[in-house]
Amino acid sequence: MQVLTTKENLVRQVEACLRQNKTIGLVPTMGALHEGHAALVRRSVSENDVCVVSVFVNPTQFNNKEDLQKYPRTLEKDVELLTQLGAHFVFAPSAEEMYSAEEMNTEFAFDFNGLDKVMEGKMRPGHFNGVVQVVSRLFELVRPTRAYFGEKDFQQLAIIHHMVERSSMKDNFGDLQIMDCPIVREASGLALSSRNQRLSEEEKTIALNISKTLFASLEWAKTATVAEVEKRVIDTINAVDGLEVEYYEIVDRTTLQPTTTFQNAIGCITVYCGPVRLIDNIQY
Ligand code: PAF
């Protein structure tokens, strides 16, 4: 496996692969890899001739400087894991390599068709502009056949589908297929996240109440309305010492707009466990 740190070297390798008609799988990550990422990489390795994993903590998608500073960075360990998993290339550029000074300091313009106005987008203004900026750049550099994303960041995934399938940028990406990959959970139910590394053992136990409540809500949904289920989920989690719900919204899976039925619905939640912001979701 080769670690590449410049766009020029990456493009050279990609062009060599494309000349040989090889299919390329891309797994974009911000590093601090866990079993959830490993599942994406395994799938990419098994479905493509070549697997490229990007490891880049993208500064333009952080609207909170402290969150960016505290984001775990474990490149050496990540490279070890990716070698074991059979990835072929790791692309780990610096911010200066990825962006010009102007790009770093100007919000990336993109028409989200309203997908950025709810939930994560509402709480973290500009976050998805940064995500689209980095993901579109990675797609243009790597020219993947398939790109793999976890369903834990469901709104991000919906926005990436929009970018590739319906937005004015869609022609830049050829026949790229976006591969949705299910949430990977610990045996306890806790959704895997790089941010879990910042939880103490006690906080991890407390955080279990998030997935436990979401699973229980599948039962509640059999006899209650959407509004009642939303309220019960929020009240149940807020009743746990150490947890505070930022939002819980049951929305349509495609439009991400609030819905009053459980058909094609997904419940998306963000909860603070101490200072750590955790997200999860459940499909009804
Ligand atoms: O989901 C993530 O880890 C990031 O948002 C992504 C897609 C790698 C872009 O920086």
pLDDT in tens, the chain (284 residues): 999 999 999 999 999 999 999 999 999 999 999 999 999 999 999 999 999 999 999 999 998 899 899 999 999 999 999 999 999 999 999 999 999 999 999 999 999 999 999 999 999 999 999 999 999 999 999 999 999 999 999 999 999 999 999 999 999 999 999 999 999 999 999 999 999 999 999 999 999 999 999 999 999 999 999 999 999 999 999 999 999 999 999 999 999 999 999 999 999 999 999 999 999 999 99
- Do both 140 and 22 map to the same domain? yes
Ligand 1 contacts (CB < 6 A) are 28-30, 58, 61, 131, 134-135, 153, 156
Catalytic one of 34, 37, 88, 162 = 37
Pocket perturbation via mutation, ligand 1, pick of 44, 57, 58 by most ligand atoms within 8 A of CB: 58
End residue of a domain, out of 181, 206, 237? 181
Is there a domain that residue 237 lies in?
A: yes
Q: Do 67 and 188 touch, CB atoms closer than 8 A?
A: no
Is there a domain that residue 186 lies in?
A: no
Is there a domain that residue 73 lies in?
A: yes
The whole-number pLDDT of residue 96 equals: 98
- Do both 177 and 201 map to the same domain? no
Supply the CATH number for residue 248's domain.
3.30.1300.10
Listed residue (32, 274, 44) closest to 147, CA to CA: 44
The whole-number pLDDT of residue 73 equals: 95
Half-sphere exposure of 126 (CA within 13 A, CB side): 12
146-150 and 50-55: which strand pairing? Answer: unpaired
> Would you say the C-alpha torsion 198, 203, 209, 215 has a positive or negative sign?
positive
> Would you say the C-alpha torsion 169, 173, 176, 180 has a positive or negative sign?
negative
Pocket perturbation via mutation, ligand 1, pick of 132, 153, 179 by most ligand atoms within 8 A of CB: 153
Is there a domain that residue 162 lies in?
A: yes
Helices first, then strands: H and E counts in the chain:
11, 9
- Do both 20 and 92 map to the same domain? yes
- Do both 120 and 157 map to the same domain? yes
The whole-number pLDDT of residue 67 equals: 87
Q: In what order do the strands lie in the sheet with 243-252?
A: 243-252, 265-273, 276-283
- Do both 73 and 205 map to the same domain? no
Is there a domain that residue 12 lies in?
A: yes
Is there a domain that residue 147 lies in?
A: yes
- Do both 157 and 82 map to the same domain? yes
37 is catalytic: yes
- Do both 36 and 141 map to the same domain? yes
- Do both 115 and 224 map to the same domain? no
- Do both 136 and 239 map to the same domain? no
Q: How far apart are CA 92 and CA 195, in angstroms?
A: 20
Structural domain of residue 240, as residue ranges?
A: 194-279
Tokens of 154: 């469901």
Half-sphere exposure of 147 (CA within 13 A, CB side): 23
Is there a domain that residue 187 lies in?
A: no
Q: What is the DSSP letter of 123?
A: H
- Do both 39 and 158 map to the same domain? yes
End residue of a domain, out of 125, 156, 181? 181
Supply the CATH number for residue 150's domain.
3.40.50.620
Unique residue bearing structure tokens 């993947």? 144
| Cα dihedral value 195, 258, 134, 93, nearest 10 | 10
Is there a domain that residue 258 lies in?
A: yes
If one counts the domains in the chain, the total is 2
- Do both 46 and 177 map to the same domain? yes
